[in-house]
Amino acid sequence: MRAMRACPVALAAVIALAGCTSAPQFSYDPDRLPAASAPITPAEAITIGDYRYVNPCQALPVQDIERLFGPIEEGAFHDQLVLEQAFSNDQAETVNSNDYLAQPTFCRYRGIDSERLSIEISIDQFANPEHIAELWLPRSIYRSHDPRPEINEYAGSIESAKDETQESDAMKLIDELHRSVALVESSNELRSEEIDGSIAFVDLGDKGFHAAHRNTIIEVRVWWGEETLMNPAGNGYSRSNTEMLAAIWQIFQILFENIDNPELDQSVLPTQFHGKWNEPVHGVHVLEPCRILDGNVASLAVGTGPDPQRIRVRSVRHNLRNDPGGRFWNKTPAHLNFNRCTRHAAMIDPITFSYPPPVTAEIYYLTDVAASEDDLLDQIQRHHYWSPVKEDEYLDIKEDRLTNITSTNADALYLHAGVNGTDAYFMVAPYIVRIEGVEDYLGNEDGAINDQMLVDIVNAMVENIKE
């Protein structure tokens, strides 16, 4: 079953080495629309207990992000943690959670402007809203930190704006933050209905704002690049505190309205972040990674785990080709653009009393190029063998870490034992798929990978790609 690559693998020397030939090219039809490109839409309404589930990215959709902050930059992407299935009252009563039976979900829009502005919306969704006050109140007591001086600094940083609505909305947020402080100080035993719609400032190192509404606790965080946003003394970026405070107020109003909307779309936000999902980008269709790594594949990997599952999905960047640090960026052979799916069990396995390990797969896109096995090997090299001396150069792959598995329906399949774990890489042109950390669920007692289980998983994923 296993066959080691006969020639040393070097990005620029595969063909030049004596006795080596160029890898065969694999053809693909750019006009074929894969079924796996379609958005993930639930067959029936998803509920958490008796409450309708809210998809966080649908609660703050892309069009509202653009309305508030302008056109989205080419390098932007989104990252979401969402549910695919209903979560019954019985399941809610048996879930192991420190958050009072809440299901955590989030949506992150990353790098949406030229200054790498990012917005994160976290929505903890409760089967029993009576628990909300128990969790919201400790968050809002601020422990030994009095938020009013910082809130007052925010208020002092508000400037007159050309748009009077912007200045008014910024002051509405300030007034609401002060109201929440007074609400917390007035009682140590608040009921959930008393705090519904309240917005509070939480300085937990990341300067977030959180609110309670219906059966949810919402948190909104904003930052630029690697820097946490909202320094009342001036954030050093082109957007003023007035604009950002007004935007945060608007974000909460949008979220409140959509959480109450019984018709809100519960589909997973498509990972093609530009154009229409059914149109190719530079000759290649973007696949939904959680359709490739579907529930059946996850069951093959970790056994029949408990339902429902949470999935975390990262999109490709807004422009598939112009990926900063990507294949076509400055014409250097760096990382390809990709999207990712991770499947998590949302409940503890009743047999093992533990969570099964998560399963993660990344899909890399070869655009405007003829795909060959060399592209797959190049990607392994880029992941694991970058030069510590010179940028954009890579070391040779260590052959004793690389294994070629031939009995598979993929165009090519390799297993790579890296310093931080063992990954499987396979190609179905024009796609390269990386399955991370397979030793967590495919490792035998002696640490060796179960080849047959890996082949079964890869073949199931290949079938999903080719469907």
Dump strand ranges (E) for 188-269: 199-202, 208-213, 216-224, 227-228
Residue 302 has pLDDT above 80, yes or no: yes
Higher pLDDT, 171 or 20: 171
- Once rounded to an integer, what is the mean pLDDT over residues 224-247? 71
pLDDT tier, 142 (very low <50, low <70, confident <90, very high otherwise): low
Beta bridge partners of 416: 402, 423
- Note the pLDDT tens digit of each residue in 322-350: 444 443 333 333 457 899 999 987 766 66
pLDDT tier, 170 (very low <50, low <70, confident <90, very high otherwise): very high
pLDDT at position 361 is 97
- Surface-to-core class of residue 450, CB atoms within 10 Å of its CB (0-12 exposed, 13-18 middle, 19+ buried): middle
What is the residue-averaged pLDDT of the chain? 81
pLDDT tier, 163 (very low <50, low <70, confident <90, very high otherwise): confident
- Once rounded to an integer, what is the mean pLDDT over residues 419-431? 92
**Distance of alpha carbon 128 from alpha carbon 264, whole angstroms:** 21
Residue 79 has pLDDT above 90, yes or no: yes
Contact 106, 81 (CB under 8 A): yes
The encoded tokens of residue 257 equal 């309205």
**Distance of alpha carbon 287 from alpha carbon 329, whole angstroms:** 22
Place of tokens 């640490």: 447
Tell me which of 120-124, 327-331, 332-336, 360-364 is least confident: 327-331
pLDDT tier, 229 (very low <50, low <70, confident <90, very high otherwise): low
pLDDT at position 71 is 93
**Distance of alpha carbon 410 from alpha carbon 210, whole angstroms:** 47
- Once rounded to an integer, what is the mean pLDDT over residues 206-216? 85
Residue 196 has pLDDT above 90, yes or no: no
pLDDT tier, 94 (very low <50, low <70, confident <90, very high otherwise): low
Residue 34 has pLDDT above 90, yes or no: yes
Higher pLDDT, 338 or 391: 338
Residue 319 has pLDDT above 80, yes or no: no
The encoded tokens of residue 403 equal 């294994």
Spell out a b/e string for 105-140, using b for 16 or more CB atoms within 10 Å of the CB, else e.
bbbbbbbbbeebbbbbbbbbbbbbbebbbebbbebb
Higher pLDDT, 176 or 370: 176
Question: At 289, is the secondary structure helix, strand, or coil?
Answer: helix
